[in-house]
Amino acid sequence: MISLAAAAERYRAIVVEYPAASRAADALRVLNELGWADLISYYQAGLVRFYQGQYDRALGAFETQLALGGSEDELVSAAYYRAVVLLRQGKEDAARAGFAEMAASFPASELAPVALFRAARLLEDAARFDEAAATYAALAESYPETAAGQIAQFRRGFAFYCAGRYDAALAAWTEALPQAVARPVRSAALGQTENPRAAILFWMGKALALQGRQDEARARWAEAGAAGPDAFYGLRAKALLAGDGDPGVRERAKGAAGLSLLSRLAELHGGRCWVEDRPGGGASFRVFLPDAASLRDRGSEQEPRPKAARPPRELDERALALARALREPVEDEELPV
């Protein structure tokens, strides 16, 4: 027979270890109904609310956790997800401030460079290019080995480029080149894959071309093609250099652009895409998109999630029945979220 303590632990484990699973919401409800809410933190409850799309309740839980204090892991995650919720609610300025504050408060956290990058992107999206460039520069200097830091090496100069300040963009990219890696850098949290060196060299060529420095532009495009021969910007650089002389390169560049866009769309919907050789020549693009139920169970793959220690258990109705029998009904109980 399952004891009351074992039943409580089972529901607690589901909430803590599998907050994105649909059954976590049921487990949280049981814990609240039976007066076991103190077995979990406000952050843990808020994360379940977040993955259920209950953003107002999730925000309240994260803010309560930050006000009450807790372990460093809980405070880091509560601060990060608070900013994510604000962004999901369309409050870009508040979200940007939240990401920046989280990174400043917990600089040693693995989420700090991700938060700083997202703050910079929000500045960039708001056409606050100087502030975005400064934030990217700080990110690249503080976290040069991380995916966010590497991609920031490129985006700092790109912010200047978007502002029409081509000399500043070229100077930023020239400074970044020694640290920029010539390989794909992928970040699920940022939702993108980039070859930083190829991207920098390609856009240096674009800036030089706009200044009428065609020979220098072509030299940069040649370097971009060498740095990322199969990367998006490497293929685009080859296509620019090839002109009308190499239709194969142009077609590969078009295919890379299409695959990059398709991959991004698939990732945004929790899926993936890939290319397979087709018998007799050519290629087939394959796309997998999960159904709504499995997507709810998986949660948003673009946000970091706690790692599970063991496979989730189905909610045990015997445990629930036993728990209800062993405990007096709780009326008008104060619930955390």
The pLDDT profile of the chain, 337 residues, written as one tens digit per residue, is 567 778 888 889 999 999 999 889 999 998 888 888 889 999 999 999 999 999 999 999 999 999 999 999 999 999 999 999 999 999 999 999 999 999 999 999 999 999 999 999 999 999 999 999 999 999 999 999 999 999 999 999 999 999 999 999 999 999 999 999 999 998 766 777 899 999 999 999 999 999 999 999 999 999 999 999 988 899 999 999 987 334 444 444 455 555 555 655 665 555 656 555 455 555 566 676 765 444 444 444 456 554 443 334 444 554 555 454 444 333 333 333 3
Question: In the 3-class helix/strand/coil scheme, how is the chain assigned residue by residue?
Answer: CCCHHHHHHHHHHHHHHCCCCHHHHHHHHHHHHCCCHHHCCHHHHHHHHHHCCCHHHHHHHHHHHHHHCCCHHHHHHHHHHHHHHHHHCCCHHHHHHHHHHHHHHCCCCCCHHHHHHHHHHHHHHCCCHHHHHHHHHHHHHHCCCCHHHHHHHHHHHHHHHHCCCHHHHHHHHHHHCCCCCCCCEEECCCCEEECHHHHHHHHHHHHHHHCCCHHHHHHHHHHHHHHCCCCHHHHHHHHHHHCCCCHHHHHHHHHHHHHHHHHHHHHHCCCEEEEEECCCCCEEEEEECCCHHHHHHHCCCCCCCCCCCCCCCCCCHHHHHHHHHHCCCCCCCCCCC
Tell me the whole-structure pTM to 2 decimals.
0.74
CATH number of 1-111+317-337: 1.25.40
What are the residue ranges of CATH 1.25.40 in the chain? 1-111+317-337
